[in-house]
Structure 1
Amino acid sequence: MKSKYLYKLVITGILTVVILSSATAQQSLSGTYTMTAEQATLTLVLTQTGNMITGTLSSNSGASFQLEGEVMEGAGAGICTGGGSSVFFEVFLAGSDLTLGLIDPDEFNMPDYDQAQYLLFTKQSEQAGTKGQTGNITGKLFGNNQQTNQQPDNQQYNNQQNYNQQNLNQQNYNQGQEGWSQQGNTGQEAGSSTIGINEVGDPSWGFKFVPPAGWVHQKSAEAAILGHTTIAGMILVLPHMAENMQQMQQELYQGIQEEGNYLTLSGGLNQVSQNVISGDYTGIMDGTQVKAKGMGILSPFGGGAYLIAVSTPDKLGNELITVTENIARNMQFFKVEVAGLIQHFAGNWASFTTSTSTWMCFCSDGSYSEQYEAAYSGNFDDGSGNWSAANQDSGQGRWTVRGTKEAGQIIVRMNNSQEIIYEYKVHQEKGYTYYNEYWFNGRHYSKKTE
């Protein structure tokens, strides 16, 4: 379960554990809230009138931003503007603690949750503190680093979550069963890659499911987070590319260990059925102690899903775990069609700087080779996707892809069992799209045609 996108989603979700567990979802957001971030004192003044919310976010340095949006199911969302820049915002209230999320727009003018930061405020009547990780708030928000001129649209926050009131199957696990039964309650034929309006999933994931009644979700290209207003904690659902139970078991053993945040296995793994493994985890996320129930499901088509029910140690209970098990039990799997994408990306890709060169071959037979050298010298291409030159590092493995021609992930499993995930986006410039140029993990590559 080790990956950058999982880490980002866990951090985002941990910061909303308290929020999603609030039993007072309908309390007014109006009030004055403060927090201390680095050398700045931030003040957030909100006014809720019906389902509309306005406000001002300011600092003791004199910077000020205006907020305007709507309130749905106790949470506010809209646009934060000021200093010639705009970002999306979300606010959640749990008792006297209010969390403000600031989310940059992506190139499609949609919220980019990989670029989100969450700030925890306290009502002015309470003692203000420095709860939670603030990130570089004084530099990014109150400094001179606003990088977007896009103007997000409030209509993008219209509530689309009129979920079916589905009664999920409550049967217990059956040790040694042939996988969990799929109930077909989604309105789609089992095995269909079409994602219905009431479903969560993605054609590139290879699975989909219907959220239980009363649960809300946020979905990115990499995973989904589910939360509830009265059940403490959250549920992470994300795809994996394990080819068999042994690989999935190995990944579950590894847990999450990145950038000072971790989830480690607190006991052994249990094989629930022929395609399901589960385990208990403990760890620290963003300075908060957490417990989790992790589950891995292997799809009959390869790959599958990880589900993680996570909360603070005193809040992780049977209710959250049972919902997670029901989602897993009712999940539908289908074969991901990647032939077209594999054909599109197959070939040699190169990236150059003034002193380095990096070459990657996503070969059409599924093999992968990479080559790095510290200077432009040597004859790289031997016609087979492997390169040879002096003073260089190289590696080989297998690759696959999920997503679209515009954006997605290329997953590489090296021969030493290391997994590399390349987040890719097509290069766009002056209104033109160049499908022979891509950004792989933020680095520009061009496809070699000769």
Structure 2
Amino acid sequence: DANVNMGGGGMDANMNMGGGSMGTPVDTNVRASRGGKAKLPHSGFSFNKPRGWVSRKVEEKFVFGHNTKPGMVIVVGNTAKSVQQIQQEAHVGIEVAEGVKFQLKGQPRPFGSNGLAVEFAGDVPGKGPGIAYTVNLVSPHGEGATFLMLVLERENSPELIKLVHSMAKSVRFFKPVPYPVDRVWKQKLDNRKLTYMHTTSSSGYDGSYTGSSSKEAIGLCAAGHFTYYSSSSFTVNAGEGVGSDVGSGSTAYGHGRGRGNGTWTVQNKGGKATLILKFYDGRVNQYHVTEDDKRRTYLNGTRYFRTSGNDGPNCN
């Protein structure tokens, strides 16, 4: 399996890049769909399943494949707040597998009054040039919909584009059903501060020196709000008295319309604890939370120090 990550509201899905063409994402030995509605309740939308295509639902996403036709279609929610946000993030590109990134091809095109169609292109290792075509829709309820079609360039066709358009046009939005709260992790993180710190340095024989440091601190208050701070710095000294350059930056977000910088919760998504930070300005950060046998805390696989008391968050 490979991770698909793209701009356009944090779309995140899993796909299989193995097999023929762009891969076989589903078991094509099962009976093809006769159509009908499919629903992603936690993402807050339903859509029409394409007739003749085989589907597989994995957690909060659908993956469609065909017995004889090339390509695959992934349907998943997104967190885009506006069409403008989708357009900005499209310029970042799309990661279709680890280390395999497609770049924006042409200009994004409006799709209805609340969406954007975006095409990306890149090379699939061992297979050749590939195309990723997406339709991203913004929902009035806060959780949007993304339809992602992946196919090798030589196998692309107007029929596949038409299929994606038809599925996207059938979308009906509703208020998302919340994931259950992970009460075990909620208790572990109440009134705790999670801190990440990283420092690197190197020196040369001529006295030159380079160094960098970064820090991120997330304060999680039991009342439901959080504080957030991040900083980074970079230092270069050319040695031999040439001089040095120092760069730095920090971010401490304003309080907006409530306490702290936003609200937080921990949800159980398919058996995985997910820390969700909702900033007052509309941004959403999500982290997969784990701990090892020594009770050390990890966010998305990166070690964070978990502290409390005098070393905990300022929740006043």
Residues 1:335 and 2:180 are matched in the alignment? no
Match of 1:282 in 2: 121
Residues 339 and 229 (structure 1), Cα distance of their counterparts in 2 relative to 1, 3 Å cut? closer
Which of 30, 34, 38 pairs up with 1:165?
A: 34
The 1:286–1:360 alpha-carbon spacing in structure 2 relative to 1, beyond 3 Å, is farther
- Structure possessing the higher relative contact order (Cα contacts under 8 Å, 6 or more residues apart): 2
Contact 2:215 2:231 in 1 (8 A): yes
Amino acid at match of 2:78: H
How far residue 428 of structure 1 moved from its aligned partner, in angstroms, is: 8.4
**1-structure distance, mates of 2:169, 2:14:** 23
How far has the Cα of 1:289 moved from its partner? 1.3
Which residue of 2 is the match for residue 131 of structure 1? none
Shift of 1:225: 2.6
RMSD, matched Cα: 4.6
Secondary structure of 2:228's aligned partner: strand
d(CA) in 1 for partners of 2:63, 2:266? 20
| Structure-2 change in CA distance of 1:164 and 1:221 (3 Å) | closer
1:424 and 2:289 are equivalent in the alignment: yes
Alpha-carbon shift at residue 304 of structure 1 (Å):
0.7
Shift in Å, 1:357: 8.8
1:251-273 deviations in Å (ceiling 9; x for gaps): 23322258642222211111121
Distance 1:367 1:245, change over 3 A: farther
Q: 1:208-230, CA deviations, whole angstroms, 9 ceiling, x for partnerless residues?
A: 44532332234444644321111
Q: How much does 1:241 deviate?
A: 0.9
Whole-angstrom CA distance in 2 between matches of 1:357 and 1:267: 37
- The answer on whether the counterparts of 1:163 and 1:211 sit within 8 Å (CA) in structure 2 is no
Could you say if the C-alpha distance between residues 370 and 244 of structure 1 is closer, same or farther in structure 2, counting changes exceeding 3 Å? same
Number of residues paired by the alignment?
A: 259
State, as a whole percentage, how many aligned pairs show the same letter. 20
What residue identity is the alignment partner of 1:165? R
Measured in 1, the distance between the counterparts of 2:170 and 2:152 equals: 26
- Asked whether 1:252 is paired with 2:117, we answer no
Q: Structure 2: 5+ residue runs without aligned partners?
A: 1-5, 200-213, 233-247, 254-260
Q: Which amino acid aligns with 1:369?
A: Y
| TM-score, scaled relative to structure 2 | 0.61
Within-5 A mapping of 1:190-209: 199=38, 201=40, 203-209=41-47
1:407 and 2:247 aligned: no
TM-aligned CA deviation for residue 440 of structure 1: 2.0
> Is residue 231 from structure 1 mapped to residue 231 from structure 2 by the alignment?
no
Q: Please name the residue that 1:303 is paired with.
A: 143
**C-alpha deviation, 1:299, in angstroms:** 1.1
TM-score (norm 1): 0.46
For the Cα contact (< 8 Å) 1:252–1:296, is it kept in 2? no
Contact 1:217 1:224 in 2 (8 A): yes
| Candidates 348, 372, 379, aligned match of 2:192 | 348
Match for residue 361 of structure 1? 219
Amino acid aligned to 1:263: F
Partner of 1:323: 163
Distance in 2 (alpha carbons) for counterparts of 1:14 and 1:215:
19
Alpha-carbon separation, structure 2, partners of 1:225 and 1:358: 35
Over residues 322-360 of structure 1, what are the superposed CA-to-partner deviations in whole Å (9 max), with x where a residue is unaligned?
22222212233222355974994664343689x999642
1:441 to 297, 300, 308: 300
